[in-house]
Amino acid sequence: MTAVADTPATSTLRDGAFGNARSLVCRECSHEVELGPHYACPECFGPLEVAYDFPQVTRAEIEAGPRNIWRYKALLPVPTDIEQSPNTEPGFTRLLRADNLARELGIDTLWVKDDSTNPTNSFKDRVVACALSAARELDAKVFACPSTGNLANAVAAAGARAGIRTVVFIPSNLEQPKQVNSAIFTENLVAVNGNYDDVNKLASEIAGEEDGWAFVNVNVRPFYAEGSKTLGYEIAEQLGWRLPDQIVIPVASGSQLTKVDKSFQELIKLGLVEDKPYKIFGAQATGCSPVSVAFKGGTDAIRPVKPDTIAKSLAIGNPADGIYVLDICRRSGGAVEDITDDEVRDGIVLLARTEGIFTETAGGTTVGVLKKLVETGQLDTTLETVVINTGHGLKTLDAISDRVGPAATIEPSYSAFTAANIV
């Protein structure tokens, strides 16, 4: 728990190291802990989360900021001079009106938040940028993570730009493109014979033994997780400072979904958007759907599973924030749904053919679940809906390489072309 700088955080931290953040607060018992490399409540072992004393923040101040996540720095646990430190500067990705997909699915108004255009082509650049800031302020010597793939890409790239040593751990059966996308940025890609949950356990062990390691999603997880709030801030700002009625979000650990909800609540409290109800839906692949199973079973108990799905970036069998996802989806009137691997592939092709967006298996899961939610009457097709695309299809080519390819292979002559009857 004290892998980074073992001394009391307050004595070594510079003023304003975490911006407007006040403390770390336990999600279970509300016990407060000082800001530092802590992630579990000393009273009840519940997860810690960043709490703030926000000043008045205006739309104009935010709009005057840079076109990346630091435009929201007043709402994040980062210092006011954050833009001075090399980072990958993710965010402010496009929010596309998806009329073709909407028509295909029978939805009135649909938007795609396309996070595949971040620096390393997934939403993970957002969380890693915040974790890097925390690692710097805590004077970490090593920037590390256990990863299902995209996180390793983002950590390795951000560490390279920041000039800090990186070590990234992945399951050894990970897609080849995701391995290369990490190894290109770091010499220390470690492939572990086991699934993500095994890799995560190993990371916790190393974090407990080694000094000066910042594991982005282990001992600096509270700071890392806050980065996902920027997805929600951007969606609201890009809609003209409005919340959508419904939003569909993929679920791995569940962190992203809970933080989008937190971001909407903060915008309401700060008076930056009008208060209104919204429904949050979670998306999983059936081969790793512990949260969806619990949702449908009407229980709070999430039974860990051994993942078996092509949606590897969502393959967390024991999701840390699963119970909070259940709570948010139930409270908001949403749902958690899951689809088969074949439906994941269908989702990838559907988004590509309707909107020209090539998503990875996680996005195929989200789009496929959106379709299923419509077909099963769980989603109101008359309400404004946003679906999040969290990653890029070039990283999971294998998933659809036997689905799409040349319509014909022909000789280079006009007669051969007409004979092939292509159009």
Work out whether 31 is an interface residue with Zn ion (CB under 5 A).
Answer: yes
Q: Looking at beta carbons only, is 28 or 380 nearer to Zn ion?
A: 28
Question: Among 87, 118, 246, 253, which residue sits at the site for ligand PLP (rule: CB under 6 A)?
Answer: 253
Q: Identify residues 277-336 at the interface with ligand PLP (CB under 6 A).
A: 313-314
Specify whether the CB–CB gap between 363 and 348 falls below 8 A. Answer: yes
Smallest distance from Zn ion to CB 254, Å: 19
Look up residue 411 and give its two tokens. 């000789």
Beta-strand relationship, 246-250 and 165-171: unpaired
Specify whether the CB–CB gap between 152 and 120 falls below 8 A. Answer: no
Give the C-alpha separation, 11 to 7, whole Å: 8
Give the C-alpha separation, 391 to 399, whole Å: 14
Smallest distance from ligand PLP to CB 85, Å: 24
Q: Looking at beta carbons only, is 164 or 285 nearer to ligand PLP?
A: 285
Question: Among 1, 46, 83, 318, which residue sits at the site for Zn ion (rule: CB under 5 A)?
Answer: 46
Q: Identify residues 348-377 at the interface with ligand PLP (CB under 6 A).
A: 360, 362
Smallest distance from ligand PLP to CB 253, Å: 3
Work out whether 26 is an interface residue with Zn ion (CB under 5 A).
Answer: yes
Give the C-alpha separation, 87 to 83, whole Å: 8
Look up residue 262 and give its two tokens. 């937190």
Smallest distance from ligand PLP to CB 321, Å: 7
Binding segment toward ligand PLP, per CB under 6 A, in 87-95, 128-136, 247-255, 330-338: 247-255
The binder of 124, among Zn ion, ligand PLP, none, by C-beta within 5 to 8 A per type, is: ligand PLP
Dihedral over Cα of 281, 287, 293, 296: its sign: positive
The binder of 44, among ligand PLP, Zn ion, none, by C-beta within 5 to 8 A per type, is: Zn ion
Question: Among 38, 124, 178, 229, which residue sits at the site for ligand PLP (rule: CB under 6 A)?
Answer: 124
Question: Among 41, 112, 168, 339, which residue sits at the site for Zn ion (rule: CB under 5 A)?
Answer: 41
Question: Among 6, 32, 34, 43, which residue sits at the site for Zn ion (rule: CB under 5 A)?
Answer: 43
Which residues, in sequence order, are CB contacts of 163 under 8 Å at separation 6+? 86
Work out whether 28 is an interface residue with Zn ion (CB under 5 A).
Answer: yes
Work out whether 263 is an interface residue with ligand PLP (CB under 6 A).
Answer: no
Nearest by Cα to 320 from 39, 64, 23: 39
Dihedral over Cα of 147, 150, 151, 154: its sign: positive
Work out whether 389 is an interface residue with ligand PLP (CB under 6 A).
Answer: no
Smallest distance from ligand PLP to CB 80, Å: 27
Look up residue 106 and give its two tokens. 């029978």
Query: What is the contact surface with ligand PLP in residues (CB under 6 A)?
Result: 122-124, 150, 250-256, 313-314, 360, 362, 390-391
* Contact set with Zn ion (CB under 5 A): 26, 28-29, 31, 41, 43-44, 46
